Structure formats: C-alpha cells, structure tokens
Structure 1
C-alpha cells in the first residue's frame, strides 16, 4: 500500500487495473447485468442500447488510460528520477570539501538517497563527513579519494572496488563494515577502533594503523607494504596471503595474541615476542 501511495505510476496502474477488471466483468456478464440492473429502465437516451454502446467506447478509454497514460507517467517519473540523481551528485561535488555540521549531514543524506535510487557508483573526491555516523552506505566501482571521516563512525557499510587513497578515519569507530578490493593507499586509521573490519584484497600500502584497535579484523590478500601497525591491537587478526607482510611490521604492534600469519613469520614473531599468545600447531613449539 505504501508503494502505491508513494508512486504515481503504481497508483495509476492500480486504478487502470481495477477499471479494466470492472469493464471486463460487466461486459462478460452483460446479459445478467442488463437483466438485473437495467431490465427495462429508460430515461431519455439512457436505455439498454445506450449502455451497450457506452461499454464499447469505454474499452477504448480504459485502453488509453492503462497503456498510454501509464507509459507517459512512467517516462516522466524516470526523467524526474534522473534529474534528482544528477542534482544529488552535483551537490555532493559542490559541497564536498566544506566542513560544517549541517552541510556534512546534508551530504550524508544525499549519499543515502543515491543508495535508495539503487546508485552505488558514488564518485566524489575530498568528501568531508567528519564527526558523523555513516551507517548503511554502499559504494562500488567508483572513487571516494580523500574521504574524511575524522572522529566519527562507519557502521554496516560496504565499499567494494573503490579508489579511496589518502582517506582519513583518524579517531573513528568502524564496525560491521567491509572494504573489499579497495585502494586505500596512504589512508589513515590511526587511533581508530576497527574491530572485525574486513579489508580483504585491498591495497593498504603505507596505510597508518598506529595505536588502532584492529582486533579480529581481516587483512587476507591485502598489500601491506610499508603499513604502520605501531602500538596497534592485532589480536586474532588474519593476514593470510597478505603481500609484503614482514615480521618487522608486526613487531611494533602492542598486542599480537593469536594473530594469523604464515608459519615462517609466526616463527620470527615467537622468537622476538615470547609474551605473545598463539595457536600451537604440529611442528610449532
């Protein structure tokens, strides 16, 4: 019912369907209708022959309403939707670098409305959303280079194949969020809480995770060349098949308990960090 009320096309289509059904039933059972409702009723020109002719003409009217009317209204709604999407994109681009609370809220609202229109390729650079709770945003196969969400939060969002280099999530909380196959070169996650975040197959070259809480996060298949994990909590973090991962990068972390790395790197970590806890496998002391 809500869909019908909100959509003019659905409203007109519903009205047309009801009219088509009514006209069809009256025409199909005209003998019963005419004998019951209009047996011998006559008022001026309103007689049985008139109503029969009227039904014939009504078929053409209903056909025009249901086909041409719905089609024209649908085309108009598509044009209106396209215009709104264009306006939302232009506003995001125009206000991207402004950092005022009310403007940031407006920009986030524009992103949500684009998602409501099934738009996932959100392409804007240097977008500032500082101190906001960014929840439920989906962005794929486009650019959010220089995205800034400082001292805010990112919740239940999904970023896939995004170019997001030089983004800044300093002192933010990120949870239930996926960065899959994203370019996060030189991005900042320092002093942030990123528990359980999935960075699978992303490029994190020279990314900064200094003093961040990365417990149970996933870095499988990531390129972590030159990434900084100084003082970070890497408890239960998975680095399976990570590229350019070395024990030197991890040894600066505050917590390495149960970190998941290759046997070679694990042996080096155990030798230099006897305090760390780890899962003992066969052949591993």
Structure 2
C-alpha cells in the first residue's frame, strides 16, 4: 500500500515548487539523469522551476524525496496527476515563451551543464491564475515564499553591483587607470543610505553610481528619496547603471548607462509619508 499524498490544487503545487527550490545544493541529485518534466511559475521577478515528480507530492522536503519518496510512484503517474490538477497539457521546450526558455536554460545549466534542454516539457502556473487561487483560498504570501523572494532580490542586487563594478573598472582601465579598482568605492557596503551604490573618481572625473538590476529584463525599478536627491544634487556626476543579469550563477550581465533619471521612464508614487 502506497503512503504518498499528491497535491490537490495549484496552491499546493506551487508550495511544493517553492520547497523544491529551498535547497539548490540538492537539485542535481533530485532531477536524476534524464529529467523531462518541469513545473514553472514566477514569484516577483524570479522564475522557479521544479521537477514534476517532486512537485506532485504534498508536504514534501528534499530529504523526504531523496531518502525514498521518489520511489513510491513513477514519473508517468505524477505527470498525469499534475496535468489533471492544472487542467492543461505539458508543453515542449520549443513551445514555451522565449523568456521562460532563457530562464530555464540558465537555471538547469548552472548544475546540469550538459542537459539537453530540447527534451524538457513544462507546465506554467500563470501569475494571474496563481493570484486567483490564493484569493479563493484566502491565502496571502507565506513567510517561506517571502524569505525566498527577499533572498533572491538580495542576490540579484548584490550580483548586479558586482557586474557594475567590473564594468566601471573596465571603463577606467580604457581611460588609462592601471589599477582601476583603486579608484572605485563600493559605497553601499559602507553606507546603505548614501543614495548611491558605487563611487568612482579618476582624473578628477567623479561618478555617483546607483545600480538597478534585473534578470532577463523583467521587474520594476524603484528609486528612494535618497537616490533621487543624489541626481538633484549632482546632475552631471550622478549615473544609473541598469544591469540586465543574463547569467546569475556566472555573474554575467549587460550594463546600460544613464545620466538622466528621466530616461528611466514615467515615475509613479507608490509610497507616501504621513506626518501626524
């Protein structure tokens, strides 16, 4: 008699997907040698992928799966169950959106470099549908989801700043700086309220650099009052380095340099200070 329990709805499916991503160190062991089916969703700016056989189980952990739960059923049964829960069929790699293809390729190649991505199939939980499911269950974001999202945002921010520093060092090197890092200060590590992340000063040419990072060109850009103040006080020296991270694991990305905050686009006030 089997002892496993399958997920009953999309909310439980996403919870298992989040659980799958809690311990990336086990991803290679959990996917096995020939993984073919993956569940996908987006939380905030983060693409999350999970092995279908893992995600089909309710209330599962990495330890549960690796210690034997994976052998309680076969992949075909779990794939059909997930298909029934979401009422959709699996889509092949070539049939999914380009941004999902790119995100999946970066994700799986970070721990499975020789994986044949064209063998993969996907079921995506759409963001609107996920919100609907949460509303029906009167469930807001969980603490685990929030922690994963915040940790990921911190990782994106830290990686973006490293990419921006490398970009700035290359720029100074081309201008003649023999040791460019000597002219760069990673300000955000010293003072988080400075209003800029990086300070660059070479040949009396100063840059106050605010770094804004995203993955695969997704996600909003937020500016604090301190950051806007830097642009007002230093209109010629203040810069925004927009970093589009193309490979989070390898810390690779493309930097777009702006010297005018208005180039970011129209601003929308979303936070107000109430004085009482």
Larger relative contact order (Cα-Cα within 8 Å, sequence gap ≥ 6)? 2
State the structure with more CA Rg.
Answer: 1
TM-score normalised by structure 1 residue count: 0.20
